[in-house]
Amino acid sequence: MSTRKPAIEIKALYKIYGGNPKVKLDRLRSGACGPDKGSGFVALNNINMTIETGKIFVVMGLSGSGKSTLLRCINRLIDPTAGQIVVNGQDVTIAGKKELRQIRSSMIGMVFQHFALLPHMSVIDNVAFGLRVAGVGRKERRERAGKALELVGLSGWDNRKPSNLSGGMRQRVGLARALVMDTPVLLMDEPFSALDPLIREEMQQELLRLQSTLNKTIVFVTHDPNEAAMIGDRIAILLKGEVVQEGQPIDIVLSPASDYVRDFVRGIDVFKVLSAGQVMDAVCPPMELANKPISEWTKHLSKDFVKLAPDDLIAPYLDELAKEQRALIVVQNDGTPVGTVTPKSVLRALAAHSSLSGSTPKMEKPKAADTTRANAAAERATQ
């Protein structure tokens, strides 16, 4: 499989529920009427996206924005009204029944929000379900299902019923059921939303851990901005069936395209996405040192330094930054220094993100209590 070919390409995808979809579609395309006019509900309105192989592509949006519909169009659990979806070179929108079953079992796995485990089957039978309907023999499917369970850390639970498992464990089974099929593409519809916050984070880490070795193309639906920022290589934000912004997490966080997106990303802990490359000051290094190798650079530095790659998150170095004892230097893969990170440069990046930026509040005298606290802090610092 060539890695640079996109795994999933979605072109001009529409889904209209109810009414007369074909008529509505024509009007919508010709611009004769808006999506809200007339009968029929436009759940997806001219969606175009390219999803790269081996990446986690997050689809985010409020409830009802069409995320699940979009995801289900990819494996045709829902038939789109118009448009094309190409998965690994195969057009799923024109696939016949048999072909579709083949595509689903060999190319596209799925994980559900409420797990959707079959309550009447044991854990291992649940995991082996896809293999069973694909006609894999009992012995082989047990073996493969066992391995998949091991992968998600659930070996030994084979013969339990799903009802005996906790939410987190159930979703691990859900994950194993998708992984066992060995499909290059994985669709995940709010897979961790139904879990407790702690378990949710654990599962996010688990997914990233698995992804680092499996390298699947994952389409991940969520309404949680922090989850999106944490696991997404790219994020598309959906509003009323339309993509309002698509890009890397940091781009969306730092330059939201609309108030809707801004509201969405406000909740994101910006330090989860802020990388050295984004907050560095490229102008800061003296002109004569630009484009010189780092060894040249460091000679001129008065203090010790820390080397960062542009993609490194800045969060772990904040402490270092506050101490101002060592310089933070951003160095490209080839060894060329490209900038430095300073408290000022970080602040500037944060200002761009802050929803309050632009409207500078009036200067106010600190209140008495604040002053004393500040003084006390200052005293402590000088001691």
Partner 1 sequence: MDFSEFAGTVATSIDDFTTYLSAHFGLVFDSISTVILGIQQPLATLMTSAPALLIITTVMVGGVLLGRLSLAILSGCGLAFIFVMNLWAPAMVTLSLVLTAAVVALAIGIPIGILIAESKRLNAVAEPILDFMQTMPPFVLLVPAVFFFGVGTVPGIVATIFFAMPLPIRLTAHGLKMVEPEMVEAGEAFGASRLAVLFLIKLPLAFRSIMAGVNQCVMMSLSMVIIASMIGAGGLGDEIIRSISRLQVGRGVEAGLAVVVLAILIDRITRRISEKVDPTA
Q: Binding ligand ADP by CB under 6 A: which of 45, 53, 68, 217?
A: 68
b/e sequence 78-103, b meaning 16+ C-beta within 10 Å = bebbbbebbbbeeebbebeeeebeeb
Q: Which is nearer to ligand ADP, 67 or 104 (CB)?
A: 67
The letter for the amino acid at 7 is A
Binding of ligand ADP by 66 (CB under 6 A): yes
**Do 236 and 55 touch, CB atoms closer than 8 A?**
no
Which run of H or E residues covers position 218? strand 217-222
Q: Which is nearer to ligand ADP, 47 or 186 (CB)?
A: 47
Among the residue ranges 1-9, 60-68, 141-149, 356-364, the one whose residues contact ligand ADP (CB under 6 A): 60-68
Q: Which residues contact 243 (CB under 8 A, 6 or more apart)?
A: 47, 48, 49, 236, 237
**Do 4 and 50 touch, CB atoms closer than 8 A?**
no
| Measured distance CA(127)–CA(108) in Å, rounded | 15
The structure tokens 């010189």 sit at 292
- Among ligand ADP, partner 1, Mg ion, none, what does residue 177 contact (CB within 5–8 Å per kind)? partner 1
| Measured distance CA(21)–CA(156) in Å, rounded | 50
Binding of Mg ion by 222 (CB under 5 A): no
Q: Which is nearer to ligand ADP, 28 or 123 (CB)?
A: 28
Binding of Mg ion by 68 (CB under 5 A): yes
| Measured distance CA(370)–CA(372) in Å, rounded | 5
Q: Which is nearer to ligand ADP, 50 or 193 (CB)?
A: 193
Q: Which is nearer to partner 1, 51 or 110 (CB)?
A: 110
As measured in angstroms, the least distance from the Cβ of 9 to Mg ion is 22
Partners of 185 in beta bridges: 108, 217
Among the residue ranges 65-73, 155-163, 243-251, 304-312, the one whose residues contact ligand ADP (CB under 6 A): 65-73
| Residues 68-107 within binding reach of partner 1 (CB under 8 A) | 72, 75, 77, 101-102, 104-105
**CA dist 277 → 285, 309, 310 (Å):** 14, 7, 4
Partners of 91 in beta bridges: 86
Q: Binding ligand ADP by CB under 6 A: which of 64, 267, 293, 366?
A: 64
| Residues 103-142 within binding reach of partner 1 (CB under 8 A) | 104-105, 108-110, 112, 114, 116-120, 129-130, 132-134
- Among ligand ADP, Mg ion, partner 1, none, what does residue 132 contact (CB within 5–8 Å per kind)? partner 1
| Residues 17-56 within binding reach of ligand ADP (CB under 6 A) | 17-18, 41, 43
Q: Which residues contribute to the site for Mg ion (CB under 5 A)?
A: 68
Q: Which residues contribute to the site for partner 1 (CB under 8 A)?
A: 72, 75, 77, 101-102, 104-105, 108-110, 112, 114, 116-120, 129-130, 132-134, 177, 181, 187
